[in-house]
């Protein structure tokens, strides 16, 4: 707050973007890991424009780890790997901006990042200034090691980069990747625009790595290999923290990576959107199946994600059955009242799901008036009733209802 006041009094722009709705974009990591380069970024930007992603609202192209040389230059600045980025990052940012999109980059709050490329610890101001001079619009900031263990808490190391970004006076969206270890939902709103609430996702709908913990607060060290269903499970404790300017990030999506059925990909997208996670595509957008493109660009789902109220859906225990059905609900924008309800079958057999509307907390704000109901994925109207009966919900499928005051 002290920093904020000082900056405002001086009449300068804040570096922090403070996104009113969750950011939307693409990141290289899930599909390409360290194999990033200039043509991949250019081809992705082209596919964004050609395949309808830009039109749907996706605008950030994010280069994840692997862009750097293994050492800093003699003057201490970061250098892009010249074999991967022959024209340099500034020229690439220029190209991406001319295509109507924004460019993001990756660094780390340690001495090294997770692949032993240089981190920004101790170089925060130099790196932030360099990113700003290149025309960078977004920084993902990771939490790998090499720093003097236990001498500085993550919150302190991440704050140092926030100060450095603010000093650049460029709007650089600051996305923390602290893996949820120190419960960033309690402090990240003071520092960043979004924060990862868990260890890494991996390409599986329901299968976790053995060490993964399934709730938001468990203190074990298993930090990667989280399935889509477990990421959703962890949000039961966190959905109430979601608010404009500080988004819990459920990690890059696995839609389009050929590991899920169509209904599982719909479920993945439904929850990332309704839980107000940043929507960062983690697949090859130039080659992914059209069915995945259609899911990622579904206008009704994106309207739920980008709804101006910025309130995430909450888990409804009374309507859910552990390991079989989960029902979540939450309000959409005020004015004309709207509300969304998600019903997921994660049991073993096709099932019907009944939603007595009086049992959905908050829904009466819409249903005590004249209203309509629509199911998003089938794009069909559902007739209003005191109990909405969803028939034939497939294994892994989520039905998304939108209730709207007429």
Nearest distance, CB of residue 59 and ligand NAG, angstroms: 21
Q: Which of 64, 108, 200, 251 is catalytic?
A: 200
Of positions 35, 50, 87, 169, contacts ligand NAG by CB under 6 A: 35
Q: Least distance from C-beta 168 to ligand NAG, angstroms?
A: 29
Closest approach of ligand NAG to the CB of residue 283, in Å: 9
Distances (CA, A) of 76 to 71, 118, 277: 9, 11, 35
Q: Contact between 324 and ligand NAG (CB under 6 A)? A: yes
Residue 390 C-beta: closest distance to ligand NAG, Å? 11
> Dihedral sign, CA of 283, 33, 272, 305?
negative
Residues within window 225-264 making contact with ligand NAG, judged by CB under 6 A: 258, 262
- Retrieve residue 218's tokens: 């468990």
Strands of 165-246, DSSP E? 173-176, 194-196, 200-201, 224-226
Write down the catalytic residue from 142, 193, 208, 307.
Answer: 142
- By CB under 6 A, the residues from 79 to 108 that bind ligand NAG are none
Which tokens belong to 93?
Answer: 């940012």
Q: Any contact of residue 150 with ligand NAG (CB under 6 A)?
A: no
Q: How far is CA 223 from the centre of its chain?
A: 17
- By the rule CB under 6 A, 291 interacts with ligand NAG: yes
- Considering the complex, state which of residue 87 and residue 308 has its C-beta at the smaller distance from ligand NAG: 87
- Told to check if 156 binds ligand NAG by CB under 6 A, we report no
User: Which residues share a beta bridge with 194?
Assistant: 175, 247
Known catalytic membership, residue 142: yes
Residue 220 CB burial class (10 angstroms; 0-12, 13-18, ≥19): exposed
Nearest CA to 208 out of 181, 174, 233 is that of 233
| Binding span for ligand NAG by CB under 6 A among 2-10, 29-37, 161-169, 178-186 | 29-37
Which residues make Cβ contacts (< 8 Å) with residue 368, sequence separation at least 6? none
User: What minimum distance in Å lies between the beta carbon of 163 and ligand NAG?
Assistant: 34
Q: How far apart are CA 57 and CA 54, in angstroms?
A: 5
In angstroms, what is the C-alpha Rg of the chain? Answer: 21
- Alpha carbon dihedral 381, 344, 247, 297, in 10-degree steps, equals -50
Under rule CB under 6 A, residue 372 binds ligand NAG: no
Binding mask 335-364 for ligand NAG (x = CB under 6 A): ------------xx----------------
Query: CA distances (Å), 375 to each of 123, 345, 372, 378, 405, in order?
Result: 50, 15, 10, 6, 15
Edge-to-edge strand ranges of the sheet holding 325-331: 314-315, 325-331, 338-345, 398-405, 371-375, 380-382
Q: What is the largest CA-CA distance in the chain?
A: 70
Q: Is 64 a catalytic residue?
A: no
Q: Which is nearer to ligand NAG, 182 or 289 (CB)?
A: 289
Q: Which residue in 294, 385, 391, 392 binds ligand NAG (CB under 6 A)?
A: 385
In the complex, what is the shortest distance from the CB of residue 371 to ligand NAG, in angstroms, rounded to a whole number? Answer: 13
Establish if 61 lies at the interface with ligand NAG (CB under 6 A): no
Q: Which stretch binds ligand NAG (CB under 6 A): 47-55, 89-97, 211-219, 286-294?
A: 286-294
Kindly tell me which of 150 and 383 has the beta carbon lying closer to ligand NAG: 383
Single out the residue of 297, 298, 245, 307 nearest to residue 275, CA to CA: 307
Shortest distance, position 66 Cβ to ligand NAG, whole Å: 9
- Residues that are catalytic: 142, 200
Binding site for ligand NAG (CB under 6 A): 32, 35, 37, 39-40, 258, 262, 289, 291-292, 323-324, 347-348, 383, 385, 389
């Amino acid at each position: 707050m002290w920093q904020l006041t000082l900056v405002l009094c001086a009449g300068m722009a804040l570096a922090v973007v403070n996104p009113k709705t969750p950011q939307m974009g693409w990141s290289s990591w899930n599909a390409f890991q360290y194999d990033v380069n200039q043509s991949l970024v250019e081809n992705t930007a082209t596919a964004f424009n050609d395949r309808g992603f830009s039109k749907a609202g996706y605008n950030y192209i994010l280069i994840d780890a692997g862009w750097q040389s293994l050492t800093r230059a003699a003057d201490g600045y970061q250098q892009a790997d010249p074999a991967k980025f022959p024209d340099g990052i500034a020229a690439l940012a220029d190209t991406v901006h001319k295509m109507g999109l924004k460019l993001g980059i990756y660094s780390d709050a340690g001495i090294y990042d997770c692949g032993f490329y240089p981190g920004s610890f101790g170089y925060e101001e130099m790196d932030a200034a360099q990113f700003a001079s290149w025309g960078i619009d977004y920084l993902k900031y990771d939490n790998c090691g090499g720093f003097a263990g236990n001498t500085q808490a993550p919150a302190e190391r991440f704050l140092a980069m926030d100060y450095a970004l603010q000093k650049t006076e460029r709007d650089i969206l600051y996305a923390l990747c602290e893996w949820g270890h120190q419960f960033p939902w309690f402090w990240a709103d003071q520092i960043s625009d979004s924060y990862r609430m868990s260890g890494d996702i991996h390409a599986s709908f329901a299968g976790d790595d053995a060490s993964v913990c399934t709730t938001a607060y468990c203190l074990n060290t298993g930090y990667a290999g989280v399935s889509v269903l477990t990421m959703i499970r962890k949000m039961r404790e966190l959905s109430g923290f979601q608010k404009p300017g500080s988004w819990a990030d459920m990690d890059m999506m696995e839609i389009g990576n050929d590991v899920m059925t169509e209904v599982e990909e719909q479920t993945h997208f439904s929850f990332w959107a309704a839980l107000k996670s940043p929507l960062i595509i983690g697949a090859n957008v130039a080659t992914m199946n059209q069915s995945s493109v259609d899911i990622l660009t579904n206008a009704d789902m994106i309207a739920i994600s980008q709804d101006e109220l910025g309130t995430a859906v909450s888990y409804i225990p009374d309507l859910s059955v552990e390991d079989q059905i989960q029902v979540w609900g939450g309000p959409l924008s005020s004015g004309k009242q709207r509300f969304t309800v998600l019903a997921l079958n994660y049991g073993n057999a096709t099932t019907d799901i009944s939603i007595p509307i009086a049992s959905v907390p908050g829904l009466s704000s819409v249903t005590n008036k004249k209203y309509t109901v629509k199911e998003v994925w089938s794009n069909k109207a559902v007739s209003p009733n005191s109990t909405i009966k969803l028939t034939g919900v497939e294994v892994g499928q989520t039905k998304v209802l939108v209730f709207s005051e007429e």
